[in-house]
Structure 1
Amino acid sequence: MKHLEFKGKYAKALIEGRKRLTIRKWTNLKEGDEVLVHSGGKIIGKAKIKAIKKRHVSEITDEEARLDGFRNAEELMEEMKKMGYDGEVYVIHFDFEPLQAVNPHKLYYGDADLEEIARRSLEHLELDERDRLVLETFLSYGSIRKAARKLGGARKRGEIRKVLRKCYNELVKRGLI
């Protein structure tokens, strides 16, 4: 399942239904996708993507700004400037359903330590070259964020998590963790 992440300061607006739109520089989402919504380090709900429009930031309307939790387009523009948004963006409309907050680590890795998953995987599993590089880089830098930067940027965090989840599941299946 895909994920949609928000800063912790937006959790309340999401849960209360005041935030039903987000603007992103990049997205892999498509209309109709169902996603897990993260905020403040927890999974707080699910969302269904209703529509995605690509356009210039100057075309964002007051109505869209309100759906994004802001008073008007001007206030939203100020926030986007702080985040370095200019040019074309993706305007993503979604329906949100709150869930009882879930720690994503527990959901995907149980009580296992990520570094232990990486070490045991390198030792016990047959890995392709890319998965091995991802795990070695993660162990070398000690954090998903730092390893992602080394592997090509923040978007690589998803790749690292995917490899760790795949390895965790295989280690559990083999009784190695």
Structure 2
Amino acid sequence: MATYLRGHIMVKKEFAELIIKGLKTTTIRLGKVVPKSKEIIIHSGGKPIAKAVIESVEYKKVGELTDEDAKRDGYQTVDELLESLEKIYKTKISSSDVVTIIRFRVVKRFNEINTDDIYLGLEPIDIAKLAHRYILNELSEIDKKVVEEVMRSKSIRTASIKLFGSLNKRWIVRKTLRRCLAKLVIKGIINIDEKSLKRLAEVSEFWKKVYMQLSKK
């Protein structure tokens, strides 16, 4: 029976840097895994590290795996890969078991912050996805609805029309997304260096409040 991948994957901390550098370009999962979307957000150590695009999905039996498959997944040999998979899935793996090789390409590193952009270089849908995953219980009911609609429609304009019946209410959607982004920064889920945050605080009252809140910690 297939397992569905719904837009997020978790990787070990030791693989985070390999992904950021483009050295780990696949993730191998036990069983048949079917991605539900082409774009995925990769998480490690309880934080998002990158957004990636799935380039291919391949199904193999364990006995067909090669050392090259293992290396693209961050391991040196198939044996090392299988040892890790057995620890993760807590089961003995046989040569006839099926694995899924998901090849991806990183398109956005979340440690790359653009202070000239209203959303710090993140796409609105990515802010919505991260808010839904990490801070949903901290949001008001209206903010939850905005986040969920942006995830569905993938558009601020469409979300505004569906939620409020007018494009003129886009400011509500934008304000919610900025508020969510601020919460993600304050909680350390999105990392922004102090120098960049201070620069933002000098030109924006909104980010000045965030900077002051972080300074009290």
Q: TM-score band, normalised by the shorter chain? A: 0.5 to 0.7
Helix, strand or coil: the match of 2:33? coil
**2:58 partner SS:** strand
Partner of 1:101, secondary structure, is coil
The answer for the alignment partner of 1:72 in structure 2 is 77
CA–CA distance in 1 between the matches of 2:138 and 2:147? 12
What stretches of structure 1 of length at least 5 have no aligned partner? 125-161
Equivalences for residues 15-54 of structure 1 within 5 A: 15-25=20-30, 26-29=32-35, 33-54=38-59
Q: How far 1:91 moved relative to its partner?
A: 0.9
Q: Which runs of 5+ in 2 are unaligned?
A: 1-5, 113-121, 151-158, 164-171, 180-217
CA spacing shift, 1:27–1:164, aligned 2, 3 Å: farther
In structure 2, relative to structure 1, the CA distance for the partners of 1:27 and 1:101 (3 Å cut) is farther
Greater RCO (Cα-Cα under 8 Å, separation 6 or more): 1
How high is the TM-score relative to the length of structure 1? 0.56
Q: Aligned pair count?
A: 132
Q: Are 1:166 and 2:154 an aligned pair?
A: no
Aligned-residue CA RMSD in angstroms?
4.0
Deviation track 1:52-100 (CA, whole Å, cap 9, x = no partner) reads 1112222211101010111111111111121236321211112224513
Query: How far did 1:115 drift?
Result: 3.3
Query: What aligned pairs does 1:117-136 form with structure 2 within 5 A after superposition?
Result: 117=139, 121=141
Distance across 2 between alignment mates of 1:68 and 1:37: 14
Is the CA contact (8 Å cut-off) linking 1:4 and 1:35 kept in structure 2?
A: yes
The structure number with the bigger radius of gyration is 2
Amino acid at match of 1:115: N
What is the alpha-carbon distance in structure 2 between the residues aligned to residue 13 and residue 113 of structure 1? 27
Pair 165,27 (structure 1): closer, same or farther in 2 beyond 3 Å: farther
Q: How does 1:135-150 map to 2 (within 5 A)?
A: none
The alignment's TM-score, normalised by the length of structure 2, stands at 0.47
For 1:113 and 1:164, the matched residues in 2 are separated by 13
